[in-house]
Amino acid sequence: MNTIERHQEIIKKINQDKQVKVQLMCDEFDVSSVTIRKDLKLLEEKGMLYRIHGGATLNNPYATDRHVNEKEKFHLSEKMMIGAAAAKLITPNDSILIASGTTVLALAKNIKPQENLTVITSALNVALELNQHIEIEVIQLAGILRKRSSSVIGLYAENNLSDFSCTKLFLGVDGIDLDFGLTTTNVMEARLNREMIKVSQKTIILADSTKFGKRGFGRICGFENIDEIITDKKISNFTKEALEDFGIKVSIV
C-alpha cells in the first residue's frame, strides 16, 4: 500500500468511526508509528482531521466556553431525551447532587416530584427549576457565581460538599476524550466536579454525542470514576465499545 492509498484508508476509517488510533493503524498497515504520525500530520495540515494523543479525530477536540444561554439552544431534543432517561433513575428518598450545564438542566425539567427527594446543586437555574415543587428540598451550594454557567465555583462551594453524602451525582461535561478523560472549559468548575464525585456513591454523566472527542481546559477525572453515561444514538460504536471496556454502562436514548 503506497502513501496515497494509506491516506485514503485513514480518511475512510476516521469518517466511519470519528477517530482512529495510531497503534491500530500501525498493525493494520504494517508500518511504523513514525510513518502513521507523519500521515496524520499531513492530513491535519490539509484540514481533514485533528491530531490527538494516540491518534486523530474527525471533530475539533477543543471545547469552546459558551454562555449557558447560548448552549441551551444546541441539541435541545437530544438533551431533553437524555434528561428524561436520567430522571427515571431517581427514586423516593434519594439525596442527589446535580452539577451545572444545559443537559443537567434538562434533567431538572424532567424530574417528577417524589417523596423525600433532596437535591443539592451548584447551578442557579437548576435550583430555580426544582424550587417550583414543594415535594423537593433544594440545597443551593454557596460560592463565587460564574456568570457564563450561572453556577457557583470556588473553595467555599467545595468545602460545602464535605457536609453531604449523596446517592447519585448527575454531571454534565464539555468534553469526553478517550485518552484525556472528562473535561470542562473552566478549571475551577473541574475542581468542584471532582469534589462532587468524592461525596457521591454513583456518578452519572449526561452528555449528548457532540461532547465525545472534545477536550476542555479543565480535566475533571478519568473513566475509573464514572459509573454510567447517558447519551444519544449518534455516538459511534467505536466510542461506545471503548467506554464499555472501561466498565462504564452506556445508555443510549
The residue ranges of every structural domain in the chain are 3-57, 68-252
Helix 3-17 vs helix 22-29: angle between axes, to the nearest 10 degrees? 130
Compute how many other C-beta atoms are within 10 angstroms of the C-beta atom of residue 122.
30
Q: Just give the CATH number of 3-57.
A: 1.10.10.10
pLDDT band at residue 26, thresholds of 50, 70 and 90? very high
Q: Which residue has the higher pLDDT, 1 or 227?
A: 227
pTM as predicted: 0.78
pLDDT band at residue 83, thresholds of 50, 70 and 90? very high
* CB contact at 8 A, 206 and 238: no
Q: Give one word for 119, left, alpha or beta, with left for phi > 0 and alpha for psi -120 to 50.
A: beta
pLDDT band at residue 32, thresholds of 50, 70 and 90? very high
Burial class of 111 by CB neighbour count within 10 A (0 to 12, 13 to 18, 19+):
buried
The per-residue pLDDT for 59 is 77
The per-residue pLDDT for 235 is 93
Give the Cα separation of 118 and 96 in Å (integer).
6
7 by DSSP, 3-state: which?
helix
Give the Cα separation of 114 and 135 in Å (integer).
6
* CB contact at 8 A, 193 and 99: yes
Q: Just give the CATH number of 68-252.
A: 3.40.50.1360
- pLDDT tens, position by position, 212-235: 988 888 999 999 999 999 999 999
pLDDT band at residue 41, thresholds of 50, 70 and 90? very high
* CB contact at 8 A, 195 and 158: yes
Which residues on adjacent β-strands are paired with residue 243?
none
